[in-house]
Chains A and B, each alone.
Chain A
């Protein structure tokens, strides 16, 4: 595996991203909104409590979809060494990523025009798929023969 320094740096950053996205609950705060974890993600997430998971009764710093994306990014990144060891020749994840982006837009639009109502569980799953395919799509760039 090459670019190990970059791999480790991004791995630590993604771990921190997931940790901070858990919100103020794990830091002993009574509310995430107004806490530094909430401020950290305010620019990229609407942080609606009805569309977020809660830890110890305190909402997370991001909504369920964003949390799914972050977990997916981390899982995909963690899977890169495994994909390299498996010796996968052709990387299919770029196509899956395209599919995941389209699925997000369809899910968001369908909910917006009230064709269906998505749930925290469906949003976290779709978000995970998007995040996982995003980081998994670059796994072959870390192989030594690249």
Chain B
């Protein structure tokens, strides 16, 4: 019976991981896109205060904290739906894949939003971000460098591929770590079934 379990583990293919990664990645990607959009319009419609806790900065904290848990949730889903037995490496693959799907989906949705719904969204965000930065209390040289950098990096509009290129490794790695924690919490060891 122990061998059966090992056989079961060896039979797992990319297609076995995909549903858990896709479902959890889609939910987390969609929620992070909506939260980002909500805080984005909050920022656009707010008066610049110079406060560190601007809506867009808050959204960064919320989205980062929220999406980092996707790897853990994907492992939970996998152990419920595919097999409760999971190796560390399998958890790592699932976590990275989930992080990649979150990045891809949220980037696609952002592109679609800008292309179809609000073509001026990025310009408005850039304008309000700079207006808020100008009100911040910090040395002028530092402020100017920050505004210039933001204008450079946001103003040109990052290409879709560049968003993926820089987003997937970081999101993938963070979700890989939480997926390993998920393996520890949710996955069963083969010996435990006997």
Q: Does B157 make an interface contact (CB < 8 A)?
A: no
A interface bracket (residues with beta carbon within 8 Å of B): 35 or more
- Asked if B183 contacts A138 (CB within 8 A), the reply is yes
Chain B contact residues, majority secondary structure: helix
Identity of the chain A residue whose Cβ is nearest the Cβ of B183 in the assembled complex: A141
- Asked if B148 contacts A31 (CB within 8 A), the reply is yes
Q: Does B124 make an interface contact (CB < 8 A)?
A: no
Complex partner residue of B150 from A33, A50, A97, A135, CB under 8 angstroms:
A33
Q: What distance in Å separates the Cβ of B190 from its nearest Cβ neighbour in chain A?
A: 10
Q: Does A3 make an interface contact (CB < 8 A)?
A: yes
Q: Does B112 make an interface contact (CB < 8 A)?
A: no
- Asked if A48 contacts B57 (CB within 8 A), the reply is yes
- Asked if B145 contacts A31 (CB within 8 A), the reply is yes
Q: Does A73 make an interface contact (CB < 8 A)?
A: yes
- Asked if B60 contacts A46 (CB within 8 A), the reply is yes
A42 to B13, CA, bound (A): 34
Q: Does B142 make an interface contact (CB < 8 A)?
A: yes
Q: Does A102 make an interface contact (CB < 8 A)?
A: no
Q: For B52, what are the chain A residues with a Cβ–Cβ distance below 8 Å?
A: 46, 48, 50-51
Knowing A3-B88, A33-B153 are in contact, say whether A141-B64 is a contact too (CB < 8 A): no
Taking CB atoms and an 8 Å cut-off, the chain A residues in 1-55 that contact chain B are 2-3, 5-6, 10, 13-14, 17, 30-36, 38-46, 48-51
- Asked if B177 contacts A45 (CB within 8 A), the reply is no
A13 to B189, CA, bound (A): 27
Q: A6-B92, A50-B136, A135-B177 given; name 13 further pairs at CB < 8 Å.
A: A10-B92, A13-B173, A33-B149, A34-B148, A39-B158, A41-B170, A44-B60, A44-B63, A46-B56, A94-B185, A108-B61, A134-B178, A142-B88
